[in-house]
Structure 1
Amino acid sequence: MAATLTNAPLHVSGLDPHLFEVELRRAPTASPAGGVTATITATYRGTVPVEARLRVSASLADAGDPYWLIPGLFYGDNRPADNHRLYPRFARTVDEPADPGRYVSPAWSFRADRAATPAVFVWGASGGLALAVDEHSSLGLTGIGFAHEGDIAQLHADFPYREEPVSYVGSQEPAAPLTQTHVWQPGERHVVELCLYRLPADRHAYVPVLRERHARSATEPLRPWVDVTEAADLAAYGLHRWHFRPDPAVLLETAAFDREFNDNVRGLGDRAAMHVAWISGIPYAHALLAHGRRRGQEDHVAAGAAVIDHICGNLAPAGTFWGQWTAAKGWGQSWTPVRGGLHARTLAEATLFLHRAVRAEQAAGVDRPGWLAAVRSNLDVAVRNQRADGNLGSLLHADDGRVLSWAGAAGLTWVAALAEAGDLDPGFLEAARRGGDYYARFVEEEFLHGAPEDVDLAPTSEDGYAAVLAYVALWRATRESRWLEFARRAADWMLTFRYSYDVRFDGHTLLAQYDFRSRGADQASPSNQHLHSYGLICLPEMVELSAATGDRHYLDRTRENLACFRQFIARADGDFNAYRGMASERYYQTACFQAKGMLLTLSHAWSVGVLLLGCEAALSLPEVNW
């Protein structure tokens, strides 16, 4: 059967018309996003139980070269063809043959809980279409997906879900398609609902749809376990107690929840390594130092300062930071197979937060000339490398600083560091402007990628954070409206990764038992499908953006982000089998890496550290401190 919704045919399939009675009703949605709500009522008239799945689909013509979006899960082709990490990729059959064994297909179906908002979007040459559902219906976990053939793009929703052509569960080897079934009993009736939207050609037109879906879901209050002050105290304690080691002064990247296990495996649950930023290092040492200053805790002040001293006192021959310190090898390169490679985002993030630490210490009456020299040294290398078009490079060589790769947008974080250091040298701000102009294309194309060291050139939530840091910094330094507009677009893209609803967990799981609310958490990336807290790194920028634009939505989503991760910070030894002050890196909200409802039993320096950064910032921002 078919009916017309906003000039697009809506097809209901999968149910035998001789056995099922199907009624479709539609009505305009009462929201600024427009669109139509479709309600499908299906009644089974057979005499014996039967297994069946209901699919509802809509098609868009003039889509020979489609752009896809499933928030948090699929962006454009989703994986560059030469990306080393394998995960689902779209390819038109005229360009590349389907190869499900390498996650390449013109059609994909996914379980809804893989998406930050269960919705699928497509844009063609002249416009777009979006289909949105709830995570669950009375038939079970919902599914969403798309298919492409010729010039036709199809969006669909499955009740209950089925994954096709294969399932990605975090492995480089595809899994057999995951699926949920429903057996209909004679006389059984179910009602399912979805919303369909017509979109203009601008790919940024997802914003009103996602805001509507968030408003629809954000009806239950979030329930943080502790207030901001207590969360800061717990995080500072955990960072110092479980991650800080004094000789040499480092913040160990991981600390195992299970200390007996850790002792039995010679401490291997505690990763004896420290990146200079990203997953450890300067940003979190700065947070520990700032907390110690505020609370008068000299041990925290000393630890934070010692870690930064250690990093700044051991620059690479190129004049930048090294990528990582390990107990086995000392200082060395980033997580890249390229010999001698240093990742630009990691270096830039370390420089950005080092400059902030210098200014904070100056405000406390303490000069740190060695730190300031390290800021200048890193930024001088960045400026020296910058291409005429503004590209700052993604991978640098530790020996001489030459750029080894220009691909992706990993260099975007240099823009933030350069813009904030304009007080040191006006040339830094000019370099930031040139970089902002170059990386704007990634924002405009809705495909930022390359920020983390561990997923090659995949699009990630971390690319969104980097863009927000960069463009808010440029706007703050120049007050030029174009940078504010790019900051707004970057924040909208970043928020596509943020869960707009509370995932439903089976009652026997740990996350269900602790009533974990997923709204406000971010999907790490389409490659790393788990929830994480890294968005707290740009909490002040999001609050600043909300005030500058007059758009309350950015503040509300930031408050949700902070509230979400004031859950699962261990309040005492034994809390969720962790020790006081520990916080996990990964919350498993779908079937990827581990079972849905599980929690990674490792505390990470960055997951504790970004919570501390966020809380310390929030304590001076009353609008977000609740």
Structure 2
Amino acid sequence: MAAPALEVAILDAPDADFAVEIEVVPSPASGPALEPESGRSTWTATVRVTYAGSAPADAAVRISTRIPADDPWFLIPGAFYGENRPADNDRIFPRFQPGASSAADHAAMVSDEWHFRADRAATPIVFCWAASGQEGVALGGSEIGELGEQSIGFAAGDGFATLSLTAPAREHPVSYYGDGVPRPAESELHRFVPGETITLVLSLHGIAADRHDYDRVLRELHRGPGAAHPAAGVAPVAPVPSAPLVSIDDAAAIAAEGLTRWHFDPDPGVLLETVGFDREVTGGDGRPVDRQAMHIGWVSGIPWATALLQHAHRTSDAEAARIARSVLDFCTAELSPSGTFWGVWYRSGGWTQSWTRHPRGLHARTLGEATDFLVRTLTTHDDPQWRAAARSNLDAMVARQRADGNLGAVHDADTGEILSWEGSAGLAWIPALVGAADWDPRYLRAAERAGDYYAAFVLGEYLHGAPEDVDLAPTSEDGYIAVMAYTALYRATRQPRWLDLARRSAEWMLTFRYSYDVLFRPLTPLGAAGFSTRGADQASSSNQHLHAYGLICTADLLDLSAWTGDSWYRDRALETVDCFRQLLPERDGDYNAYRGMITERYYQTECFQPKGMVLTLSHAWSAGVLLLACEQLLARGEAAA
């Protein structure tokens, strides 16, 4: 395959005198390629732009390549997946739609052309396949280049797809800040002085017709030189300190204290979802800012009480065990009329539905995850009430499963009617069904039928709908539940098809995982702390912040490495454990928090908050998922990892 042709445009200075040199050379893969095929080539492009004018000129440089494409499919890891937002999604964020170019389209965040600042991407690269079953190309850059922050983007029209890198960064047609209100487009410029030459470096990749070929490219880039801070050969503005890491054992102790000291409320026995860092302004009880609510799973509830109970058992901590048991008792004491768990408990009104637009709706992922962890707990800590609750949930799901294996996405709390069959959230029920397979043979059969049904989402490279708060967006959490589902099926059956789906699910999930260290301004909290983003996950293309939820499948990734002999999954799992042993408050006052308070959000880009900030709320799941991963490593004898 010949190297894709490059074009260089000077933006906002059409009459200025610029000279351009382009050099494109083959670049060998830095790691072993998967199933090498002819035509999967990689090139390094060096573009030198010299300003020959007599007076300073303000301009930007855009480097592009284009291919014939009748039905293009785009991927920007962590930030954009195909159409990105289903047309009827109830949350507004950037959507690709051919031919959408009007002001009204852009006001609705719909366009046939998008350019994003590079730090929105888990790896700064944009992939494009010309059509289903056809080969494509990818164009990669770096967050920072000689002209500062850069952007990547794509456009489609007139039978072509165009991929580009722009320096300095610009966003078009609008900027996204985490809500449904588009911000004005951003257009940075560089002031060129006479005789100035700047150099921009990017990578070009030929990619196979199978869209999963992104995995090969991302592996190469992750292993490549400068991946820790891929600034195209340009050093950071100033040396960045490294945030200290606490040990695995200490991280577990800190996270457990966060749950017991801050999130547990003995009346009535819940793990409050969020707790404010600042206790002086809000008062000691924190009620003006602490969220007086608990989900049954997901952001609070059973999974993290389970992790706490595991920690208490290992450390012989009777008080932590009492707290964990009281939460599990409360969560299992009352089921919905349809036989499943409720979605959310509120202090003001008790148990009610999930966060969904469907009245009385209960979200499959939240309920499935809660049941999964309850079943896990029952293997070592049996309790009649807990077991009865788990069985009721499992029986309800088996009864509702559609003939094709779909387990439904949203269920009516009163009748059990499936209110939505859309998306792949039902994957979360598979580990629960597999975990209870020896209770009833129907459970494993139901899990396998579901595994067959949801395989199409994995093979189609478009898992979506797992978290309650972004409707049907593609998210990192969809990857987590797919990994947990297919590793559970393989663990139980040893059937190769489940192992292949587990592998592909993990590789899709890892598209959300940052492969480089974002450069923060030194006076921001993340910059001052030297926070390394490598190993953190973008929450979703809608929620563009970093989070730690990927720790939930630490053990699954370690198993996947052992089964396949591929260290990639293990290395990336441990990289995430390392990432979130940063910024842990070991003492009250550390990082403007109290010991055990762990944030949900690290802002690596301009979304929700300015880049470099952290959300000053401790989340129950943030402590719980770190505790879970640490306990999994400790149980495996990997405390030194």
TM-score range (shorter-chain normalised) is over 0.9
Distance (Å, rounded) in 2 between the aligned partners of 1:360 and 1:537: 19
Distance (Å, rounded) in 1 between the aligned partners of 2:128 and 2:228: 28
What residue is the counterpart of 2:128 in the other structure?
122
Distance (Å, rounded) in 2 between the aligned partners of 1:518 and 1:591: 15
**What is the percent sequence identity of the aligned residues?**
54
* TM-score normalized with structure 1 length: 0.96
**Deviation of residue 622 (structure 1)?**
4.0
Distance (Å, rounded) in 2 between the aligned partners of 1:423 and 1:222: 48
What residue is the counterpart of 1:44 in the other structure?
51
Indicate if the aligned counterparts of 2:279 and 2:286 stay in contact, CA closer than 8 A: no
**Deviation of residue 223 (structure 1)?**
5.3
Is the aligned partner of 1:53 residue 2:53?
no
What residue is the counterpart of 2:74 in the other structure?
68
Distance (Å, rounded) in 2 between the aligned partners of 1:108 and 1:521: 24
How many aligned positions are there? 616
What residue is the counterpart of 1:248 in the other structure?
268
Distance (Å, rounded) in 2 between the aligned partners of 1:18 and 1:205: 40
- Of residues 156, 169, 173, the one that matches 1:165 is 173
Distance (Å, rounded) in 1 between the aligned partners of 2:187 and 2:551: 34
**Deviation of residue 95 (structure 1)?**
12
Indicate if the aligned counterparts of 1:6 and 1:36 stay in contact, CA closer than 8 A: no
Cα separation, partners in 2 of 1:39 and 1:65, compared to 1, 3 Å: same
Distance (Å, rounded) in 1 between the aligned partners of 2:482 and 2:244: 28
**SS in structure 1 opposite 2:635?**
coil
**Deviation of residue 354 (structure 1)?**
0.2
What residue is the counterpart of 1:387 in the other structure?
402
Indicate if the aligned counterparts of 1:141 and 1:180 stay in contact, CA closer than 8 A: no
Distance (Å, rounded) in 1 between the aligned partners of 2:501 and 2:75: 20
Of residues 19-28 and 252-261 in structure 1, the stretch that sits farther from structure 2 once superposed is: 19-28
**Deviation of residue 34 (structure 1)?**
3.1
Amino acid in structure 2 at the alignment position of 1:123: W
- Of residues 97, 103, 108, the one that matches 2:109 is 103
What residue is the counterpart of 2:199 in the other structure?
191
Map 1:434-583 → 2, pairs under 5 A: 434-583=449-598
Map 1:231-246 → 2, pairs under 5 A: 231-246=251-266
Distance (Å, rounded) in 1 between the aligned partners of 2:173 and 2:23: 31
Is the aligned partner of 1:155 residue 2:145?
no
Indicate if the aligned counterparts of 2:26 and 2:41 stay in contact, CA closer than 8 A: yes
What residue is the counterpart of 1:12 in the other structure?
8
Cα separation, partners in 2 of 1:95 and 1:591, compared to 1, 3 Å: closer
Distance (Å, rounded) in 1 between the aligned partners of 2:466 and 2:583: 26
**Deviation of residue 181 (structure 1)?**
1.8
Distance (Å, rounded) in 2 between the aligned partners of 1:302 and 1:179: 56
Cα separation, partners in 2 of 1:223 and 1:264, compared to 1, 3 Å: closer
Of residues 541-550 and 90-99 in structure 1, the stretch that sits farther from structure 2 once superposed is: 90-99
Could you report, residue by residue, the CA deviation over 1:361-390 in whole angstroms, capped at 9, with x for unpaired residues?
2xxxxx312111111110101110000000
**Deviation of residue 97 (structure 1)?**
9.4
**SS in structure 1 opposite 2:282?**
helix
Map 1:3-402 → 2, pairs under 5 A: 6-14=2-10, 19-31=17-29, 32=33, 34-61=41-68, 63-93=69-99, 99-125=105-131, 126-216=134-224, 217-219=226-228, 224-263=244-283, 267-361=287-381, 367-402=382-417
Distance (Å, rounded) in 1 between the aligned partners of 2:582 and 2:100: 48
Could you report, residue by residue, the CA deviation over 1:35-68 in whole angstroms, capped at 9, with x for unpaired residues?
110001112122211111111101111x211111
What residue is the counterpart of 2:238 in the other structure?
none
Amino acid in structure 2 at the alignment position of 1:30: P
**SS in structure 1 opposite 2:380?**
helix
Distance (Å, rounded) in 2 between the aligned partners of 1:326 and 1:430: 36
Indicate if the aligned counterparts of 2:275 and 2:286 stay in contact, CA closer than 8 A: no
**Deviation of residue 266 (structure 1)?**
6.1
Distance (Å, rounded) in 2 between the aligned partners of 1:201 and 1:276: 42
Indicate if the aligned counterparts of 1:98 and 1:105 stay in contact, CA closer than 8 A: no
Distance (Å, rounded) in 1 between the aligned partners of 2:624 and 2:405: 31
Distance (Å, rounded) in 1 between the aligned partners of 2:326 and 2:571: 36
Distance (Å, rounded) in 2 between the aligned partners of 1:112 and 1:545: 31
Distance (Å, rounded) in 2 between the aligned partners of 1:34 and 1:620: 43
Distance (Å, rounded) in 2 between the aligned partners of 1:171 and 1:301: 40
Is the aligned partner of 1:589 residue 2:595?
no
Amino acid in structure 1 at the alignment position of 2:348: A
**Deviation of residue 198 (structure 1)?**
1.0
Distance (Å, rounded) in 1 between the aligned partners of 2:152 and 2:562: 36
Which stretches of structure 1, 4 residues or more, deviate above 3 A after TM superposition? 15-18, 94-98, 217-224, 622-625
**Deviation of residue 247 (structure 1)?**
1.6
**SS in structure 2 opposite 1:99?**
helix
Amino acid in structure 1 at the alignment position of 2:374: L
Indicate if the aligned counterparts of 1:98 and 1:106 stay in contact, CA closer than 8 A: no
**SS in structure 1 opposite 2:425?**
coil
**Deviation of residue 94 (structure 1)?**
8.0
Amino acid in structure 2 at the alignment position of 1:191: T
Distance (Å, rounded) in 1 between the aligned partners of 2:476 and 2:640: 23
Distance (Å, rounded) in 2 between the aligned partners of 1:258 and 1:219: 34
Show structure 2 runs of 5+ residues with no match: 34-39, 230-240
Question: RMSD in angstroms over aligned alpha carbons?
Answer: 1.7
**SS in structure 2 opposite 1:53?**
strand
Amino acid in structure 2 at the alignment position of 1:52: A
What residue is the counterpart of 1:364 in the other structure?
none
Distance (Å, rounded) in 1 between the aligned partners of 2:493 and 2:106: 48
Distance (Å, rounded) in 2 between the aligned partners of 1:189 and 1:230: 51
**SS in structure 2 opposite 1:411?**
helix
Distance (Å, rounded) in 2 between the aligned partners of 1:410 and 1:373: 24
Cα separation, partners in 2 of 1:94 and 1:180, compared to 1, 3 Å: closer
Indicate if the aligned counterparts of 1:224 and 1:563 stay in contact, CA closer than 8 A: no
Show structure 1 runs of 5+ residues with no match: 362-366
Distance (Å, rounded) in 2 between the aligned partners of 1:510 and 1:105: 34
Cα separation, partners in 2 of 1:13 and 1:96, compared to 1, 3 Å: closer
**Deviation of residue 218 (structure 1)?**
4.3
Indicate if the aligned counterparts of 1:558 and 1:624 stay in contact, CA closer than 8 A: no
Distance (Å, rounded) in 2 between the aligned partners of 1:561 and 1:6: 37
Of residues 562-571 and 208-217 in structure 1, the stretch that sits farther from structure 2 once superposed is: 208-217
Distance (Å, rounded) in 2 between the aligned partners of 1:424 and 1:450: 29
Cα separation, partners in 2 of 1:623 and 1:25, compared to 1, 3 Å: farther
Distance (Å, rounded) in 2 between the aligned partners of 1:226 and 1:303: 25
Indicate if the aligned counterparts of 1:223 and 1:563 stay in contact, CA closer than 8 A: no
